Structure 1
Amino acid sequence: MRRPILLAVSHGTSDAEGARAIADLVDAVATTLPDVEVRSAFVDVQQPDAADLLPTIDGPVVIVPLLLSRGFHVHHDLHGMAAKKADAVVSDPMGPDPRLAEVLADRLAAASTETPAVDLDSREPVILAVAGSRDPASLTDAEAMASLLSLRLGARVELAYLAARQPDLPGALREHPDAVVSTYLLARGFFFDMTASQADGRTVTPPLLDGVTVPQQLIDLVIARYDQASARLLESATPISGPITGPIAGSTAGAARP
């Protein structure tokens, strides 16, 4: 039995460098999983559109959101389209996860080496700049990510939102004018440009995908999400064995529903 197709779905961006960095991540995952067909799609901006592509794929599919938290795209777009295909399942999004904290910490360490004014041991907190969403689950995920980064750094981390929530980044920087901004975004694009603009010359770390190399932690994370969801899909598709009594005798386990 062939392994499920991995459909990596990202938001999409009009930034050429950001789009290339995400494509590099998908390619790295495909190279690491030679026995899995890996495809990519998007929920906005770029093509192919995930909602159009998924119905054309034969066989089981694991949709892996290349998104950093739960929100509208995960709950509405991805789970909505998977509900229309009996052998499709949606994995957890990429964040929060300790592996993301590792990459964020690496970005901060590089910034402190390249810019002597950046002092991670100062009393100023690190400001974690996140995209923001009105979905309550995204707030929980952002707070969890800030806690993971704080634990990794052994330093205080304050959240700042680029949309939908407060405090916003300008407000956080007024409160902590000497803080370094840790960019909690997957790749360059609209929100990264906003971060750099609102930081007004202060140190801003590159996004998780800096366009130079693909961190191994991100490759491992996508594969872990795929493996976890694949196990759920296989378990739900496996026929019930052994003697069965009661009204469901003779039935088989239903296909996965997100």
Structure 2
Amino acid sequence: MAAPALVAVAHGSRDPRSAATVSDLIAEVRRQRPGMDVRLSFLDLSAPRLPDVLDAVAADGHRSAVVVPLLLGHAFHARVDVPSAVTAAAARLPGLDIEISPVIGGHEGLSAAALRRLAATLGTGLHDPGLGVVLAAIGSSHAAANAAVADLVAGWTRRFGWHGGSPAFAAMAAPTVTDAVAALRASGAQRVAVAQWILAPGLLPDRIVRDAEAAGASVAAPLGPDPDVAHAILARYDALIASKHFSQTRIA
């Protein structure tokens, strides 16, 4: 019996580097799971859009699909935009059973990728008691999503014995990268580095890079097409399949 199609959905961006990076990530997913039908879609600003991809999945004869949001926090897009698009698709595609997995943010694979990017930027090991680390994200109006970024960098700080760690946000929340770097330096950090809790380059990530460099802090690359990020996508898909027990009649 055929496995449900995996439909990854990213936010989308006017910056073509973003879609290209996410496309490379999905290529890595396909490399890790050859033979599985894996498709990329976007919520906005980039093509193809999620509704169009779900239509194509149904037209190609699939009876079921798992939508995996390529989002790092459970904010508005995860709570509203993705479910709304899937509900509308399900209404017009009664022969296609569509389920939504949790966002990929929170999976340990993303943390591993971010730390690997940070270590590459530092050029040394991560265990450094003089180091201050800023974990920079896009930012959200949903406080819990921003708090998750703060919790993550706090956990890294304890794990590696850093002088300190701080979240920072490009928009919608405080502190900014500039303020977070300054605060860590004022508290006694001997050097400060900025890690990006961001999937792909784009206009807001460029702001993070500019502010970090202007503040004299080294800045790591976005997560990008990292094998651990691809593994996280597949893990979300696999867990959803296991929890929902798609029947043979649904996926035959």
| Same fold? TM cut 0.5 | yes
- Return the match for 1:134 from 121, 137, 141: 141
Amino acid at match of 1:196: V
- Return the match for 1:182 from 177, 188, 195: 195
Contact residue 122 and residue 218 of structure 2 kept, 8 A: no
Contact residue 101 and residue 149 of structure 1 kept, 8 A: no
Deviations 1:121-146 (A, max 9, x none): 24342010111101233134323422
- Deviation of 1:80 after TM superposition, in Å, equals 1.5
Superposed structure 1 runs of 4+ greater than 4 Å apart: none
> Rg larger in 1 or in 2?
1
Deviations 1:169-213 (A, max 9, x none): 22112212442111111111112201012121421111111xxxx
What is the match of residue 130 of structure 2? 123
Please give the residue correspondences for 1:184-203 in structure 2 after superposition, counting only pairs within 5 Å.
184-199=197-212, 200=214, 201-203=216-218
Amino acid at match of 2:36: V
Asked if 1:206 corresponds to 2:206, the answer is no
Deviations 1:86-128 (A, max 9, x none): 61111111112322222222112111228xxx99624342010
Amino acid at match of 1:187: A
Alpha carbons of structure 1 residues 119 and 6: separation in structure 2 relative to 1, 3 Å:
closer
> What SS is found at the alignment partner of 2:8?
strand
Contact residue 128 and residue 160 of structure 2 kept, 8 A: no
Amino acid at match of 1:112: L
Structure-1-length-normalised TM-score: 0.80
> What SS is found at the alignment partner of 2:130?
coil
Distance 2:140 2:129 in 1: 30
Contact residue 185 and residue 192 of structure 1 kept, 8 A: yes
Which has more helix, going by share of residues? 2
Aligned residues: 232
What is the match of residue 43 of structure 2? 43
Distance 1:88 1:152 in 2: 39
- Return the match for 1:66 from 46, 57, 70: 70
Alpha carbons of structure 1 residues 151 and 9: separation in structure 2 relative to 1, 3 Å:
farther
Distance 2:56 2:126 in 1: 52
> What SS is found at the alignment partner of 2:7?
strand
> What SS is found at the alignment partner of 2:219?
coil
Distance 2:126 2:154 in 1: 20
Distance 1:2 1:51 in 2: 22
Contact residue 82 and residue 88 of structure 1 kept, 8 A: yes
Contact residue 101 and residue 152 of structure 1 kept, 8 A: no
Distance 1:122 1:154 in 2: 5
> What SS is found at the alignment partner of 1:193?
helix
In structure 1, the gaps of 5 or more residues are 240-254
Give the % identical residues. 28
RMSD across aligned C-alpha pairs, in angstroms?
Answer: 2.5
- Return the match for 2:175 from 149, 163, 167: 167
- Deviation of 1:219 after TM superposition, in Å, equals 1.6
Deviates further, 80-89 or 218-227: 80-89
- Return the match for 2:231 from 202, 220, 234: 220
Distance 1:64 1:8 in 2: 5
